[in-house]
Amino acid sequence: RTVYVNGEYLPEDQATVSVFDRGFLMADGVYEVVSVLDGKLLDFGGHIRRLQRSLDELQMDNPLSEEEYLEAHRQLIAKNGIGDGLIYLQVTRGNPGDRDFAFPPAGTRPTVVMFTQAKAGLADNPAAKTGWKIISVEDLRWARRDIKTVQLLYPSLAKMEAKARGVDDAWLVEDGLVTEGTSNNAYIVKGNTIITRALSNDILHGVTRAAVLRFANEAQMKVEERSFTIEESQGADEAFVTSASAFVMPVVEIDGAAIGSGQVGPVATRLREIYVEEMR
Ligand code: PDD
């Protein structure tokens, strides 16, 4: 695989980053994941806008323009022959030359890394036919989940807990209310109404969430942006999650309780179809 590091395209085994990079020492960095379907980038502008917002919130310079990010994404797709897959993009605060809690001096160049992950058949993921089983765990992340930082240790622990219990993912719960999944936004469906937590600093402002809610409105489905409990989810007709990599993924079981019929539901299925149709 060819990867991108600070303006260079290199074989992955020749690409290097400093041991003093703040991303490595302090998780001082932000990232994006953009899907590629048939060689086409999905919602690239939405991801770059959110990247800028994450950088602004952390007072970090953005070393590249949108056009430069786009060019790098296109180069990586071409060089690695990506049909369906993902592009991972990370900006960290760079290498101050030593470890220090204070930010490095102004002008220190942020480190930009991008790489591809091939995922054949992304749109036809067979898991979307059977749905995910999930568990709930306490949300022990920091309080600025609207910033897409590379501090992913707690979501990784939650994912491992899910795997250890034989399921696919976990929903995170704070003060009795679902925030989101380990790496996706969470929804329930009651009748014709789609319910998902309102945007705040408690959750990531999903690019897929924005697209799916727009498509739901256009399809005359009702959308309620409010919080819900695990108990309410277990009594819902359907549940699902959204992310750049999972698109719309139905959820069929939460903490051992079947949701609705226990099968993938019509609303999640329809939204997934619309999403893929509209985005391709
Ligand atoms: N995760 N919430 C969290 C905590 C996430 O990490 C993500 C994305 C989302 C969905 O956002 P979007 O629709 O913009 O992808 C919600 C990416 C895919 C990841 O970490 O791989």
Same domain, 34 and 146: no
Ligand 1 atom with minimal separation from the 210 CA: 13
Angle at 275 between CA 272 and CA 280, to 5 degrees: 125
Whether 65 and 171 map to the same domain: the answer is no
Distance 244 CA to ligand 1 centre (A): 6
Do 87 and 109 fall within a single domain?
yes
Q: Are residues 220 and 271 in the same domain?
A: yes
* Residue 89, Cβ density class (10 Å: 0-12 exposed, 13-18 middle, ≥19 buried): buried
Residue of 184, 201, 275 with the most ligand 1 atoms within 8 Å of its CB, for mutation: 184
Number of domains in the chain: 2
Contact between residue 219 and residue 51 where contact means Cβ atoms under 8 Å apart: no
Catalytic: which of 79, 119, 129, 148?
A: 148
CA distance 243 to 184: 5
Cα-based angle 253, 254, 256 (whole degrees, multiple of 5): 80
Q: Do 212 and 242 touch, CB atoms closer than 8 A? A: yes
CA of 248 to the centre of ligand 1 (A): 12
Same domain, yes or no: 109 and 132: no
Last residue of a domain, one of 63, 97, 122: 122
Predicted local distance difference test score (pLDDT) of residue 80: 98
Please give the distance, rounded to the nearest whole angstrom, from the Cα atom of residue 222 to the centre of ligand 1. Answer: 23
Q: What is the CATH classification number for the domain harbouring 271?
A: 3.20.10.10
Residues paired with 230 in a beta bridge: none
CATH code assigned at 94: 3.30.470.10
| pLDDT at residue 77, as a whole number | 98
Tell me, yes or no, whether 93 and 138 share the same domain.
Answer: no
ipTM of the complex: 0.99
Domain shared by 170 and 63, yes or no: no
Final residue in a domain of this structure, among 77, 97, 122: 122
Show which of 95, 122, 149 is a domain's final residue.
122
Atom 4 (ligand 1) nearest CA: 183
Instruction: Give the residues surrounding ligand 1 with Cβ less than 6 Å away.
Output: 33, 180, 183-185, 204, 206-209, 242-245
Neighbour order of strands in the sheet with 2-5: 8-11, 2-5, 111-118, 85-92, 29-37, 40-41
Are residues 201 and 217 located together in one domain of the fold?
yes
What pLDDT score does 236 carry? Answer: 98
How many whole angstroms from its chain centre is CA 190? 25
Closest-lying ligand 1 atom to the alpha carbon of residue 185: 16
What is the full per-residue pLDDT of the chain (280 aa) written as tens digits? 999 999 999 999 999 999 999 999 999 999 999 999 999 999 999 999 999 999 999 999 999 999 999 999 999 999 999 999 999 999 999 999 999 999 999 999 999 999 999 999 999 999 999 999 999 999 999 999 999 999 999 999 999 999 999 999 999 999 999 999 999 999 999 999 999 999 999 999 999 999 999 999 999 999 999 999 999 999 999 999 999 999 999 999 999 999 999 999 999 999 999 999 999 8
Q: What is the pTM of this model?
A: 0.98
Which of 184, 190, 173, 176 shows the shortest CA–CA distance to 224?
A: 190
Residues 133, 117 within the same domain: no
- Those residues with Cβ within 8 angstroms of residue 124's Cβ, 6 or more apart along the chain or in another chain: none
**What DSSP state is assigned to residue 15?**
-
Using the 8-state DSSP alphabet, how is residue 104 labeled? P
Q: How far is CA 118 from the centre of its chain?
A: 17
pLDDT at position 137 is 98
Domain coverage including residue 34? 2-122
Distance in Å, CA 32 to ligand 1 centroid: 8
CA nearest neighbour of 31 among 96, 104, 87, 106: 87
Which atom of ligand 1 is the closest one to the Cα of 182?
4
If asked whether residues 94 and 38 sit together in one domain, one would say yes
Q: Is 148 a catalytic residue?
A: yes
Residues 24 and 105 in one domain: yes
Ligand 1 atom closest to Cα of residue 46? 14
CA max distance for the chain: 58
| One domain, residues 55 and 138 | no
Probe residue for ligand 1, chosen from 146, 204, 213, 247 as the CB with the greatest number of ligand atoms within 8 Å:
204
- The DSSP-derived string for 123-172 is GG-THHHH-EEEEEEE--S-S-TTS-BS--HHHHHHHHHHHHTT-SEEEE
Instruction: Annotate 55-70 with DSSP letters as a single string.
Output: HHHTT----S-HHHHH
Residue of the CA atom closest to atom 19 of ligand 1: 183
CA of 111: how far to CAs of 20, 141, 152, 200, 251, in Å?
Answer: 11, 25, 18, 28, 37
